[in-house]
């Protein structure tokens, strides 16, 4: 896979490392970035060899949010053009949010605006302790609109009420306390802690992981039927998968299931 703004590498364990690759621009996002992400995510989600996706940033930053040149283009555009660009980015976030594969955000540096959106649609977010964050859109007279559904789901309305409107920066410990991050570690330990999460995922059944992610989405969206009936049906469906049959047999036979990598 070759992209203008991304690097994608897949190892023999099925770990896809998706690196935002605009280090000179602090991995700021533009139209090409969104287009590259759409293409890369579609391929990774459809590739049966891929078990998990890790996002990170090249250089010193995770992502600085919107590229200044791209923002100037939006300022010079008309309403229809701005809405088209916003839709492209919003659909990219939705695609990442709906990935069947687990997504880990390896937050190696600062993340602002849209970068926080990328963290919010990740299943697991681990950051180095020096990282800084900010929802700074209001400083420009704008709002964090397209990322808001995911950031709200991540940190809740009480925290969003504060950070959406003050535009202030906050540190990794504050991001952890508000729920944006799952873990904060020294920069030298970041890869080891991410590897620990990867090993846990690789010991779990891929289809079961995908079904679990879908279950969360459905329950958060309030299923049309009674949650009791819905969850019973979901569990019954899971019992009928090939993975469940093989996994239960392996458990009682005290042998590793075929998906286990360690």
pLDDT (tens digit per residue) in 194-238:
999 999 999 999 999 999 999 888 888 766 677 777 777 887 888
More confident residue, 4 or 236: 4
Among positive and negative, which fits the CA dihedral 130, 53, 119, 144? positive
Q: Mean per-residue pLDDT for 60-81?
A: 91
> Rounded to an integer, what distance in angstroms lies between the CA atom of residue 83 and that of residue 173?
35
Parallel, antiparallel, or unpaired: how do β-strands 103-107 and 183-185 relate? unpaired
> Rounded to an integer, what distance in angstroms lies between the CA atom of residue 230 and that of residue 234?
6
Q: Is the pLDDT of residue 261 over 80?
A: no
Q: Mean per-residue pLDDT for 144-157?
A: 94
- The whole-number pLDDT of residue 235 equals 76
- The whole-number pLDDT of residue 231 equals 75
Q: Per this entry, what is the length of the chain? A: 262
Sheet architecture: strand order including 52-57: 6-10, 15-20, 52-57, 103-107, 124-128, 183-185
The tokens describing 137, both together, are 């859109």
Q: Which of 91, 96, 92 is nearest to 54 (CA)?
A: 96
> Rounded to an integer, what distance in angstroms lies between the CA atom of residue 15 and that of residue 18?
10
Q: Is the pLDDT of residue 249 over 90?
A: no
Question: Please, what is the average pLDDT of the chain?
Answer: 92
- The whole-number pLDDT of residue 258 equals 87
Q: How many CB atoms lie within 10 A of CB 230?
A: 15
Query: To the nearest 5 percent, what fractions of the chain are helix, strand and coil?
Result: 55, 15, 30
More confident residue, 38 or 242: 38
Q: Which of 154, 69, 55, 65 is nearest to 105 (CA)?
A: 55
Contact 172, 128 (CB under 8 A): yes
Numbered ranges of CATH 3.90.226.10 in the chain: 6-201
Architecture, CATH, for domain 6-201: Alpha-Beta Complex (3.90)
């Amino acid at each position: 896979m070759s992209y203008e703004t991304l690097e994608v590498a897949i190892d023999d364990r099925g770990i896809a490392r998706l690196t935002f690759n605009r280090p000179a621009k602090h991995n700021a996002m533009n139209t090409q970035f969104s287009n590259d992400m759409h293409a890369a995510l579609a391929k990774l989600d459809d590739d049966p060899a891929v078990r998990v996706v890790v996002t990170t940033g090249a250089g010193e930053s995770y992502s600085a949010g919107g590229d200044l040149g791209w923002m100037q283009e939006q300022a010079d555009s008309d309403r229809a053009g701005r809405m088209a660009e916003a839709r492209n980015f919003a659909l990219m976030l939705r695609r990442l949010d709906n990935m069947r594969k687990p997504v880990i955000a390896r937050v190696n540096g600062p993340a602002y605006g849209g970068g926080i959106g990328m963290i919010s649609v990740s299943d697991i977010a681990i950051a180095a302790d020096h990282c800084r964050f900010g929802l700074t859109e209001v400083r420009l007279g704008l709002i964090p609109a397209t990322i808001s559904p995911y950031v709200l789901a991540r940190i809740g309305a009480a925290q969003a009420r504060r950070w959406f409107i003050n535009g202030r920066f906050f540190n990794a410990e504050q991001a952890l306390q508000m729920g944006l991050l799952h873990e904060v570690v020294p920069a030298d330990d970041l890869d080891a802690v991410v590897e620990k999460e990867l090993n846990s995922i690789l010991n779990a059944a891929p289809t079961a992981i995908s079904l679990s992610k879908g279950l969360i989405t459905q329950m958060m969206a309030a299923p049309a039927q009674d949650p009791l009936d819905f969850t019973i049906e979901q569990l019954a469906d899971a019992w009928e998968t090939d993975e469940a049959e093989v996994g239960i047999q392996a458990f009682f036979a005290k042998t590793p299931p075929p998906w286990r990598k360690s």
